[in-house]
Amino acid sequence: MESIRILVADDEKEIQLLLKKYLQREGYEVDCVNNGEEALNAVRNHSYELIILDIMMPEIDGMEVCRMIRDHTTAPIFMVTAKDDEIDKVLGLSIGADDYITKPFSVKELVARVKAHLRKIYLLNDNNKHKKEKDIIKFQNIKIDVGGHSVCKNDVYINLTVKEFELLKLFANYPGQVFTKSQIFNQVWGDEYLSDDNTVMVHIRRLRKKIEDEPDNPKLIQTIWGIGYKFTGDTI
């Protein structure tokens, strides 16, 4: 397997060195930068399988960096911050972050989350090698190429993050089935003890904006009040 490259953007040198040490132990290549401007330059010049961003950085903060790079990479983005404010968490997820951890944090827990995200990506890629090219799910004007890990609407490519793609695939594979938020989290994120309603809601909101004709009046991914969500598109 090719080497996995991770970017760590944090203005605290001690955290940089600590994360680099533990991630390198797992066999990952790690680049460290000190501020948002350096993070942007690194993403422009290199390809990363995962990005860890501190929110409170000089030059450009982590939130802005996340927003600026999300349209150009589907790599999982982790937000790390000293703030313990739910608004910051929801905002980070809404602009494209895949996970969120608050300082002070357990380095072992963060590394475990990194491994879980990357494991899902590479298991998916390995499985795709054994799938036929025509492993495609169609519903209405949406086409999901499971083998190619891509989605089109009206024959136009839609840029989904890894988690958004996994959400859509889950729903499309089980049309009409109602999923609770906990079930969705366990299927897509795979860590029951980290279950977070806000994470699920924010990612579904982002997915709706990309696939629904009217995101504020969704027809495909419907909310079942008091329970969760279900997918109502008819697959072909």
For 5-127, CATH number out of 3.40.50.2000, 3.40.50.720, 3.10.110.10, 3.40.50.2300 equals: 3.40.50.2300
Cα separation values, 159 from 16, 28, 144, 162, 172, Å: 30, 26, 12, 10, 17
> pLDDT tens for residues 95-135?
778 888 888 888 888 888 888 888 776 655 554 444 444 47
Domain 5-127 identical in fold to domain 133-231:
no
Q: Where are the domains of the chain?
A: 5-127, 133-231
62: burial class by Cβ within 10 Å (0-12, 13-18, 19+)?
Answer: buried
Fold of domain 133-231 = Arc Repressor Mutant, subunit A (1.10.10)
The C-alpha atoms of residue 62 and residue 153 are separated, in whole angstroms, by: 31
Tokens of 58: 């000089």
Return d(Cα 7, Cα 51) in angstroms, integer: 5
Whether residue 93 has pLDDT greater than 90: no
Query: Mind listing the pLDDT tens digit for each residue in 53-65?
Result: 998 888 888 888 9
Query: What is the percentage of the chain residues whose pLDDT exceeds 90?
Result: 26
* Whether the model pTM is above 0.85: no
Burial of 224 (0-12, 13-18, 19+ CB in 10 A): exposed
